[in-house]
Amino acid sequence: MENLEDLKILAEQWSHQGIEYLQKIPPTQLYVAIGVLLLTTILFLLSIRLFRRTKSNTVLLSGLSGSGKTVLFYQLRDGSSHQGTVTSMEPNEGTFILHSEKAKKGKIKPVHLVDVPGHSRLRPKLEEFLPQAAAIVFVVDALEFLPNCRAASEYLYDILTNANVVKKKIPVLLCCNKTDKLTAHTKEFIRKQMEKEIEKLRASRSAISTADIANDFTIGIEGEVFSFSHCYNKVIVAEASGLNGETVQVQDFIREYIKP
């Protein structure tokens, strides 16, 4: 009890001293100090808000060069591939609501779509975007599939074993593109072939751990033939034709993970 009284007196003394001290300071300085204090707190709160936005809305389009990512990007954004494309030298990026949703009423959450160039010299770019990805669309050229099967599988393997993808269980859509052409392979065939390739990679890559090719994790189940269902994250197979605008399955996939 007495202690409390003592404390009270002490506090009063201090507050007196404090006020006296404040009065000694010229008012301009005081205002500046208060201003700075306010500013920092506002900035602090803002930054917290920014970092708190855990729900990312980023979807990555990846895949080998020429698989049709850029066409797909503009299909999803504008509903048209305009006058065609050439090999990308830089990523295409945009935050928008999908073209097909334009007619819909109400507030729709926009998607941040990134088309990462497939040229192998530009691969390191993907790593920059992976940490913020909520979902990945891996585009495969179903027309020219066989000659590219191995390269595509290696690329996909690198993605599936990436630390970000494994830890955050980022879902991957294996999108077999260019199905408008009759000679395009079916998605079943493509899935099987790629699983086979990845099985081989698993054998050779588990042996090497390189400093460069950052295979952070291994995938699949020990002693079993690899299947995409063994992955920690979801791997779904779909078909699309960027050129003809048949992208329903891709849109559904995106909207499953980026709720409107």
Partner 1 sequence: MLEQLLIFTRGGLILWTCKEIGNALKGSPIDTLIRSCLLEERSGDVSFNYDAHGAAYTLKWTFHNDLGLVFVAVYQRILHLLYVDDLLSVVKQSFSEIYDPKRMAYDDFDETFRQLRKEAEARAEELRKTKQVVGKPVSSVKKQGQVSKAGLEGGNKKMSEGGSKKDDGDGNKAKVGNLTNGHSNGNHRMEDDSQKTDLANGKENTTDNVALDLSKLQKLRSKGVRGRGGIRKADSIGNKGSKVTAAEPAKKATKKNRVWDDAAPKKEKLDFTDSVDENGSNDHVDIAAADQGESMMDKEEVFSSDSESEDDDEPGSDEKPEAKKKGWFSSVFQSITGKANLERTDLEQPLKALKERLMTKNVAEEIAGKLCESVEASLEGKKLASFTRISSTVQGAMEDALIRILTPTRSIDILRDVHAAKEQRRPYVVVFVGVNGVGKSTNLAKVAYWLLQHKVSVMMAACDTFRSGAVEQLRTHARRLQVPIFEKGYEKDPAVVAKEAIQEATRNGSDVVLVDTAGRMQDNEPLMRALSKLINLNNPDLVLFVGEALVGNEAVDQLSKFNQKLSDLSTSGNTRLIDGILLTKFDTIDDKVGAALSMVYISGAPVMFVGCGQSYPDLKKLNVKAIVKTLLK
| Tokens 């493509």 belong to residue | 190
Q: With CB under 8 A as the contact rule, which of the stretches 14-22, 79-87, 166-174, 238-246 interacts with partner 1?
A: 79-87
70 contributes a contact to ligand GTP by CB under 6 A: yes
List the 111-115 sheet strands across, edge first: 92-96, 111-115, 58-63, 133-141, 172-177, 235-239
Question: Least Å distance between CB 203 and partner 1?
Answer: 7
Q: With CB under 6 A as the contact rule, which of the stretches 3-11, 103-111, 200-208, 239-247 interacts with ligand GTP?
A: 239-247
Residue 242 contact, options partner 1, ligand GTP, Mg ion, none, Cβ 5-8 Å cut-off depending on partner type:
ligand GTP
Q: Are strands 133-141 and 58-63 parallel, antiparallel or unpaired?
A: parallel
Contact by Cβ (8 Å): 244, 238:
no
Q: What is the rounded CA–CA span in Å between residue 2 and residue 9?
A: 11
Nearest to 258 by CA among 116, 110, 80, 125: 110
Map residues 61-100 to x or -, x wherever contact with Mg ion holds by CB under 5 A: ---------x-----------------x------------
Choosing from 55, 119, 167, 200, the residue that interacts with ligand GTP (CB under 6 A) is 119
Which pair of tokens denotes residue 110? 């926009």
Measured in whole angstroms, the distance separating CA 260 from the mean position of its chain's CA atoms is 17
Question: Least Å distance between CB 159 and ligand GTP?
Answer: 14
Residue 200 contact, options Mg ion, partner 1, ligand GTP, none, Cβ 5-8 Å cut-off depending on partner type:
partner 1
Q: With CB under 8 A as the contact rule, which of the stretches 30-38, 195-203, 229-237, 244-252 interacts with partner 1?
A: 195-203
Question: Least Å distance between CB 148 and ligand GTP?
Answer: 11
Q: What is the rounded CA–CA span in Å between residue 237 and residue 176?
A: 8
241 contributes a contact to ligand GTP by CB under 6 A: yes
Q: What is the rounded CA–CA span in Å between residue 57 and residue 257?
A: 8
Question: Least Å distance between CB 251 and Mg ion?
Answer: 19
Which pair of tokens denotes residue 22? 């404040």
Choosing from 133, 148, 162, 178, the residue that interacts with ligand GTP (CB under 6 A) is 178
Question: Angle formed by the axes of helices 248-257 and 69-78, to 10°?
Answer: 80
Map residues 46-65 to x or -, x wherever contact with partner 1 holds by CB under 8 A: -------------------x
Q: Are strands 172-177 and 235-239 parallel, antiparallel or unpaired?
A: parallel
CA-derived radius of gyration, the chain: 27
**Positions in the binding site for partner 1 (CB under 8 A):** 65-66, 70, 74, 78, 80, 82-92, 115, 117, 119-124, 150-151, 154, 200-201, 203-205, 207-213
**Positions in the binding site for ligand GTP (CB under 6 A):** 63, 65-71, 84-85, 87-88, 117-119, 177-178, 180-181, 241-243
